[in-house]
Copies of this chain bind each other. A is one copy, B any other.
Amino acid sequence: MHISEFQELIERTYFERDSARGLGGTYMWFSEEVGELATALRRNDKDAMEEEIADVFAWLCTLASLAGVRMEDAVRKYADGCPGCRRIPCDCSDKE
């Protein structure tokens, strides 16, 4: 699936409700999913990791839509390599 298709799917599914809730409340939902992802990773629960990664991505797309950002445009900063050193693989010396 294209990144833009996924954002559009999430918009069709959730935008009206997320928009009515507003950015702050929607960020809290996103944040909750980030916490659930941490739990899944900590437990090394593969099914839960897959579920929570999808949920975090879905809420990130919603936040992007509320902010007027197209995910497809946003990711272009990585298209030519690391935005810091412009290399693939990244060669930034300060990246711990």
Task: Identify the A interface with B (CB < 8 A).
Answer: 1-3, 6, 9-10, 12-17, 21, 23, 25, 27, 31, 34, 37-38, 41, 46, 49-51, 53-54, 56-58, 60, 63-64, 67-69, 71-79, 81-82, 87-90, 95-96
**In the complex the two chains form, is B21's CB within 8 Å of A96's CB?**
yes
Known contacts A67-B46, A82-B13: A74-B54 contact under CB 8 Å: yes
How close is A71's CB to chain B, nearest CB, in angstroms? Answer: 7
Copy count, this protein chain: 2
Name the distance in Å between A37's Cβ and chain B's nearest Cβ: 7
A74 touches B90 (CB 8 A): no
Decide if A72 touches B38 in the complex (CB within 8 Å): no
